[in-house]
A = this chain, B = another copy of it.
Amino acid sequence: MSEQTDPVKRKPATSYDVARAAGVAQSTVSRCFSADSLISAETRQRVLSAAAELGYTPNTLARSLITQRSNTVALVITGYTMRDSPNVMYTLADALARQSMRVMLITAENDEDLRPAVLDLLGFPLDGLITCASMHADDSRQFLRRGVAMVSYNRKIEVPKVDAVLADHDGASRQIAEHLVRAGHKHLLCVAGPEEAPVSRERIDGFTAAVREAGLEVPHVLHTDFSYDDCKARFLAYVGKAKRLPQGIFCANDELAFAIMDACRYDLQLRVPEDVSIVGFDDVAVAERPSYLLSTVRPPAEVMANKAVELLLRRIREPDVRARTLRFDCELVERASARFGKP
């Protein structure tokens, strides 16, 4: 039986192996792989070619242990948010990668399921963490205590030293309400996610507050699990036993609005917007297609994601500056699915 080493099982080469091959000290090898070290061109050349020969790359884990920088940022996100706005996630990950940060992805179906995975991360010396989900204040403090910089994306957070990037859902929802009221809609309906979904809640609250302030009857809120099917079913059930059809429907996001629009058109044979105005939120790609032409609200998601990364990097550099909350205006996108009243 030969002693040939199988390349698959061979352990990666270390700086000692390279040092031996190049006839230098291990510390010299190390210097060749850090940016600003004084190394003679000739030595560097020899070391680098020995390294290439052995397929050597410095072990970043060992490096992190000693530099106390892991160059790793955790991205915490629920399955729902990921499926619903994959682009937010892509933009965050991409912006991080461009800053030479590694991205650790923490995901689970909802905030509660996320928690064990998040806590498990306490043992990993992260440089930073961006959360697109609501975290327990206690958990956040644990991370802060370990020196992890934190930024919250689209979730309010009341923990000191945690920055936040928020879309002004409240303001946009109020504008929608005002437009619908001004156009003469009297009977309004809201279609929301689950009771506890924070973004949905914010949007619906803003809308109903503005309707109340306009002196109209406060709209009924239909809660759903955010899915198309559930939304459609609940809406049809609601309409079935309601005294009258709503004239305007505000949905906490575009997917809900599509379900409502389909239900109105294909199940109830209503014309949109002649019989009913429908408004969504997010401006996903499908919204502008001719089959929907959904009036909606566009939060500046990419800008916000890039800003979140910027805030995070700043906080990594200066951990003790006061927490900043950046609030971004959303753009109203008026299409054919709703009658809006101009001021």
The chain A residues found within 8 Å of chain B, CB to CB, are: 6-12, 55, 57-65, 68, 70, 75, 79, 82-83, 86-87, 89-90, 93-94, 97, 100, 102-109, 117, 120-125, 142, 144-147, 161, 228, 258, 262, 265-266, 285-286, 289-292, 319-320
Contact = CB atoms under 8 A, between A and B. Distances in A.
B319 A291 contact: no
A83 B68 CA distance: 34
Nearest to A10: B145
B145 A7 contact: yes
Contacts of A117: 97
Contacts of A107: 90, 93-94, 97, 103
Shortest beta-carbon contacts, A-B, top 5: A86-B86, A291-B291, A266-B290, A60-B123, A57-B123
Contacts of A289: 228, 258, 262
Contact of A292 (B87, B106, B291): B291
14 contacts: A8-B144, A8-B147, A8-B161, A12-B147, A59-B123, A60-B124, A61-B61, A79-B90, A79-B94, A82-B86, A82-B90, A93-B107, A104-B104, A286-B286
A146 B12 CA distance: 5
A147 B10 CA distance: 7
A147 B11 contact: yes
B93 A105 contact: yes
B286 A265 contact: no
Contact of A319 (B8, B58, B93): B8
Could you say which of A55, A58, A61, A292 has the most chain B C-beta atoms within 10 Å of its C-beta?
A: A61
Contacts of A58: 123
A86 B286 CA distance: 16
A285 B57 CA distance: 44
Given A11-B147, A90-B82, A124 B104 contact: no
Contacts of A258: 286, 289
Given A83-B87, A94-B107, A142 B9 contact: no
Contact of A65 (B62, B90, B109, B121): B62
Contacts of A11: 68, 147
A324 to B, nearest CB: 16
A105 B103 contact: yes
Contacts of A89: 82, 86
Contacts of A61: 61, 64-65, 70, 124-125
Contacts of A319: 8-9
A289 B292 CA distance: 11
Contacts of A63: 123
A8 B320 contact: yes
B12 A285 contact: no
A320 B142 CA distance: 41
B9 A147 contact: yes
Contacts of A265: 290-291
B102 A102 contact: no
Nearest to A144: B8
A75 B105 contact: yes
A191 to B, nearest CB: 16
